[in-house]
Structure 1
Amino acid sequence: MNKYLILCVDDEREVLDSVIQDLDCFEEHFQLEGAQSVSEAKDIIEDALREDTHLALILCDHIMPEQTGISFLIELSENSETNKAKKLLLTGQAGLEDTVEAINHASLDFYLSKPWEGEQIRSVIKDQLTQYMIEHEPELMPWAPVLNTEKIFNAIADNRVSFGE
């Protein structure tokens, strides 16, 4: 299986630790990393790309000291090496205009507000990762037990039908 990265970005250490703890169920199959700043996140992404690890999903806070989460997600969507990643905003402070800007730039796949429930965030991440794999991973079968099994099997069936035509 290819290597994939889930990256969580939040400048508040307690929030970041909590998010990572909520997502540790994905750690067996994905590289799960946390960053407290956009510059740290960029370093992690660069290292991952050098190791041929794909950024599958980024979960980012909006209000951060050096750059807003939305501007970072827009930047990632404009980069050919990161534009395919699922981009999620986890924040309690993004205004409607900021969120609309991110959606209009096709750089936001999902919005979660703080505070969140662990089961809610795991469900959203699972759905987003399932969609990412269906769109970008040629070998879907190994992901069936890990992600949304029904959607993975449907995609496999759809692929067989389109190859058979």
Structure 2
Amino acid sequence: MEQLLILCVDDEREVLDSVLNDIAPLSPPFTIDGAESVAEARQVIKDFEAQGGKLALILADHIMPDELGIDFLIDLNHASTSESAKKILLTGQAGLHDTIEAINRGGLNYYLAKPWSEEQLLNIIKEKLTDFVIEYCDNPMPFAQVLDGERIFSHMNQHRLDLGN
């Protein structure tokens, strides 16, 4: 089974812990990790990729002391190893210009304003990860139990039908 990473980046430890707690039901099969800075997030991604894993989804705050979350998402969107990762901006401070920039240049898949509800966050992440495993995993079945199993089964069934023709 493919090793896939969900990475959350927020410089406020309390917020980061809350997000990690909210998405804990996705582990396993996903590896979930957190970083308090963009520099730390880059290292987590580098280490995970060195072990043969792949970044599947990143959830980043916008306003951080060392680098803006949007700039980080744009960088990830232009790197061959992370351009396919689903990107979610979770913030209460991004203005319209920043958000448009993230969508146009950063491959932003979703914008979620703070405060969020646990159910809303988990549903959005499940939807984006289901998209990811259907599009990029040779065998998305191991992820069906924690994601949208109906969509994954439908995709697998259609794939079998397509191969039969």
TM-score (norm 1): 0.97
Question: d(CA) in 2 for partners of 1:10 and 1:106?
Answer: 18
What is the total number of aligned residue pairs between the two structures? 165
**2:142 matched residue in structure 1:** 142
Question: d(CA) in 1 for partners of 2:118 and 2:144?
Answer: 22
- Equivalent AA in structure 1 for residue 73 of structure 2: L
- Equivalent AA in structure 2 for residue 38 of structure 1: V
**2:70 matched residue in structure 1:** 70
CA RMSD of aligned residues (A): 0.9
Moved more, 155-164 or 34-43: 155-164
Question: d(CA) in 1 for partners of 2:106 and 2:72?
Answer: 13
Task: Report SS of the residue matched to 1:160.
Answer: helix
Displacement after TM superposition at 1:112 (Å): 0.6
TM-score (norm 2): 0.97
Displacement after TM superposition at 1:106 (Å): 4.8
**1:53 matched residue in structure 2:** 53
**Residues 77 and 83, structure 2, Cα contact 8 Å, conserved in 1:** yes
Tell me: CA distance 1:73–1:153, structure 2 relative to 1, closer, same or farther (3 Å): same
Structure 2 residue runs of 5 or longer lacking an equivalent are none
**Residues 9 and 41, structure 2, Cα contact 8 Å, conserved in 1:** yes
Alignment of 1:20-31 (within 5 A): 20-31=20-31
**Residues 73 and 106, structure 2, Cα contact 8 Å, conserved in 1:** no
Deviations 1:12-50 (A, max 9, x none): 000000000101111221111000000000000000000
Aligned: 1:111 with 2:140: no
Structure 1 residue runs of 5 or longer lacking an equivalent are none
Question: d(CA) in 2 for partners of 1:34 and 1:44?
Answer: 8
Question: d(CA) in 2 for partners of 1:40 and 1:119?
Answer: 27
Question: d(CA) in 2 for partners of 1:77 and 1:158?
Answer: 29
**2:17 matched residue in structure 1:** 17
- Equivalent AA in structure 2 for residue 112 of structure 1: L
**Residues 10 and 16, structure 2, Cα contact 8 Å, conserved in 1:** yes
- Equivalent AA in structure 1 for residue 82 of structure 2: T
Question: d(CA) in 1 for partners of 2:85 and 2:159?
Answer: 22
Alignment of 1:78-117 (within 5 A): 78-117=78-117
